[in-house]
Amino acid sequence: MNIFSRIFTLSCLIVSGISAQPGTLDNSFGTGGKVIHSIGVKDDWAWCAALQPDGKIIAAGYSTVDFVTRQAVTRFLPNGTPDASFGTGGNYVSTTEREVLGVALQNDGKIVTCGFQYNSNFYGGFAVSRLNANGTPDATFGTNGSVRHAFNTVKEEAHTVVVQSDGKIIAAGFVETGTNNYNFALIRLNADGTLDNSFGTAGKVTTQVGTGHDVIEDMILLPDGKILVCGNSWDAMNQDHIALARYNTNGTLDNTFGTNGIYVGQKGEGIELLRASDGKILLAGREVGTTVPDAFIWRFSANGVLDNTFGTAGLASVADISLNGAALQNDGKIIITGLKSSDFATARLTANGSLDNAFGTNGVAKTNLAPFSGLDQPHEALIQSDGRILIVGESYQGSKHNMSMARYQASGSSGLDDAEVFTSFKVFPNPMADDSRLQIALEDDFTGTLRFDLIALDGRILKTFYEEKTARNVIEVLNVVEVLNLDNVSAFFLRISGGKYSATRLVLR
Indicate the burial class of 423 (C-beta count within 10 angstroms; 0-12, 13-18, 19 or more).
exposed
Instruction: Residue 325: name the closest of 311, 339, 314 by CA.
Output: 339
Give all domains of the chain, ordered by start, each with its CATH number: 3-17+419-508 (2.60.40.3080), 33-97+368-408 (no CATH)
Three-state secondary structure call for residue 452: strand
Digit-coded pLDDT (tens) for 160-185: 999 999 999 999 999 998 777 999 99
pLDDT value of position 416: 38
Contact 253, 286 (CB under 8 A): no
Task: List all residues 6 or more positions away from 476 whose beta carbon is below 8 Å from its beta carbon.
Answer: 437, 438, 439, 440
Q: Please state, in angstroms and rounded to a whole number, the distance separating the CA atoms of residues 156 and 379.
A: 21
Per-residue b or e along 68-88, where b marks 16 or more CB atoms closer than 10 Å to that residue's CB: ebbbbbbbbbbbbebbeebbe
Q: Please state, in angstroms and rounded to a whole number, the distance separating the CA atoms of residues 490 and 509.
A: 5
pLDDT value of position 419: 34
DSSP 139: T
> Beta partners for 228?
220, 246
Q: Using a CB cutoff of 8 Å and minimum separation of 24, what contacts does 233-237 make?
A: 233/209, 233/264, 234/210, 235/210, 235/211, 236/211
Distances (CA, A) of 405 to 29, 45, 408, 458: 9, 11, 10, 27
pTM of the predicted protein model: 0.80
Digit-coded pLDDT (tens) for 315-363: 999 999 999 999 999 999 999 999 999 999 999 999 999 999 999 999 9
Q: Please state, in angstroms and rounded to a whole number, the distance separating the CA atoms of residues 75 and 290.
A: 36
Instruction: Residue 284: name the closest of 313, 242, 245, 252 by CA.
Output: 242
Instruction: Residue 236: name the closest of 210, 208, 215, 264 by CA.
Output: 210
* Number of Cβ within a 10 Å radius of residue 197: 12
Task: List all residues 6 or more positions away from 228 whose beta carbon is below 8 Å from its beta carbon.
Answer: 219, 220, 221, 222, 244, 245, 246, 247, 257, 273, 275, 281
CA Rg value for the chain: 24
DSSP 437: P
DSSP 82: B
pLDDT value of position 509: 61
pLDDT value of position 391: 98
Provide DSSP, 195-211: B-TTTTBTTEEEE--SS
Q: Please state, in angstroms and rounded to a whole number, the distance separating the CA atoms of residues 119 and 142.
A: 16
Instruction: Residue 364: name the closest of 332, 385, 389 by CA.
Output: 389
Three-state secondary structure call for residue 178: strand
Distances (CA, A) of 156 to 111, 148, 149, 162, 171: 22, 11, 10, 18, 12
Q: Please state, in angstroms and rounded to a whole number, the distance separating the CA atoms of residues 46 and 70.
A: 12
Q: Please state, in angstroms and rounded to a whole number, the distance separating the CA atoms of residues 383 and 335.
A: 9
The chain-wide mean pLDDT, for the chain, equals 85
Q: Please state, in angstroms and rounded to a whole number, the distance separating the CA atoms of residues 421 and 444.
A: 10
Average pLDDT per consecutive 10 residues, the chain (509 residues; last block may be shorter): 36 42 90 92 93 95 88 96 96 91 96 91 90 98 96 92 97 89 97 98 96 94 97 89 98 97 96 96 94 94 95 96 96 96 96 96 93 84 94 90 94 45 53 60 62 69 69 54 57 69 67
pLDDT value of position 92: 96
